[in-house]
Amino acid sequence: MSVGGVETVFTTTISELLKKSDLEIVVVTLAKIREPLYVQWFQEHPDVKIYVYRPLSNCFEDIAPYCRGMLNVLRKIVFGIYKKYRRVFMWVTHRLADVEVFIDYKNLEFARELAYFNKPKIAWLHSSMEYFQRTGAFANLSQYDKIVGLTDDFVDEFKDKYPQYADRIYRIFNPLDADAIKSRAKQTKVPSGQYFSHVSRLAAGKDIRTLLNAFEIFYTQHPDIKLYIVGDGSMANDFKSYATTLNCHKNVIFMGAMSNPYGIMRGAIANILSSEYEGFGMAVLESVALGVLTISSNCKNGPREILEDGKAGLLFEIGNAEQLATHMETALADTRARTKMIERATNGLARFEPYVIAQQIRGLVL
């Protein structure tokens, strides 16, 4: 439960499900929740019980600044014991005896533990097919009674590659509380001047280099416009270092992780997603909710469906910095086209309404 798209979707979904009293919800997390945004959410929803699977995860986080090489060794040993004996998880089983449906909400992370339960199980897949094939996570897929993918493209690809599970998979979009996004956007200041924005975890697959290369091209004609990059991650230092080699580096502002990036997003000329692949592309949907044009790579999965094949936003080929730079020029100069695409994208938000998604989930579990 760190700041991220999956976590925001998670709390939005539960909030909507709790509006009816036909479901009791218990949450099992890998570590104790510390992120203030989500601590507050659970405080506001005391009826949702929380159990922690790996309480020592928090200890590792606390000692990380003081331990370097030995920390990873110790972590592997301890978590290896967890996985082998699973007794840390099993202590909560008597408390979960009355659970009627288990939902493994993020990419089969509890597959081994849920093998102990002879109750209906649902796998919720939040990543791309490339991720699952690379990690081998689908090895435990057979134990799940139902499977949820986030986009039609993902479901189609899944059925093609795993026809033996074709009758188990369903498509349920991520929900978006547009009013909440707009409200939070008003709580933060919009930076001065003209700029583009990018919001994501700064990790492999997000292709920040293509974003920076495109902005370098765009910058030659527009040296007064800036690029705000919001997020943190394993490759943050690499991207920052690369940015310093470009002429535009003084106009590239790395903001770090922000629990509320919506003020920056709502003031942008356009919000840009440059990923090589996505599970859904929640930042695209949030941009639409804020009434801002989105420029996105035409990656799997999500952006093409959300932006209606480029009619509700601008799509560019993965890794094509020149095409992205051209789209940035269009976003800046062609006000009429930008307005038309924003209007079409906004009109398509109804399919992502939380109550629509909640109804589909109830149909899945009840």
Structural domains present in the chain: 5-176+353-365 (3.40.50.2000), 178-349 (3.40.50.2000)
The pLDDT value recorded for residue 98 is 83
- Strands 271-273 and 294-297: what pairing? parallel
Q: In what order do the strands lie in the sheet with 169-171?
A: 102-104, 121-124, 146-149, 169-171
The pLDDT value recorded for residue 75 is 65
Residue 34 banded pLDDT, cuts 50, 70, 90? confident
> Which residues fall within 8 angstroms of residue 35, CB to CB, at 6 or more apart?
1, 2, 3, 7, 259
The pLDDT value recorded for residue 113 is 79
* Model confidence pLDDT, tens digit, residues 201-225: 899 899 999 999 999 999 999 999 9
Q: Where are the beta strands (DSSP E) in the chain?
A: 26-29, 49-52, 102-104, 121-124, 146-149, 169-171, 195-199, 226-230, 252-256, 271-273, 294-297, 314-316
Spatial separation of the C-alpha atoms in residues 230 and 265, rounded to whole Å? 9
Spatial separation of the C-alpha atoms in residues 174 and 345, rounded to whole Å? 16
Say if residues 269 and 293 touch (Cβ distance below 8 Å).
Answer: yes
% of the chain exceeding 90 in pLDDT:
68
- pTM confidence score: 0.84
Say if residues 358 and 17 touch (Cβ distance below 8 Å).
Answer: yes
Neighbours of 130 (CB within 10 A): 14
Tokens 């920390």 belong to which residue?
71
The pLDDT value recorded for residue 366 is 82
Say if residues 265 and 271 touch (Cβ distance below 8 Å).
Answer: yes
The pLDDT value recorded for residue 63 is 64
Residue 90 has pLDDT above 70, yes or no: no
The separation between CA 147 and the C-alpha centre of its own chain, rounded to angstroms, equals: 18
* Model confidence pLDDT, tens digit, residues 246-257: 999 999 999 999
Residue 179 banded pLDDT, cuts 50, 70, 90? very high
Spatial separation of the C-alpha atoms in residues 49 and 56, rounded to whole Å? 20
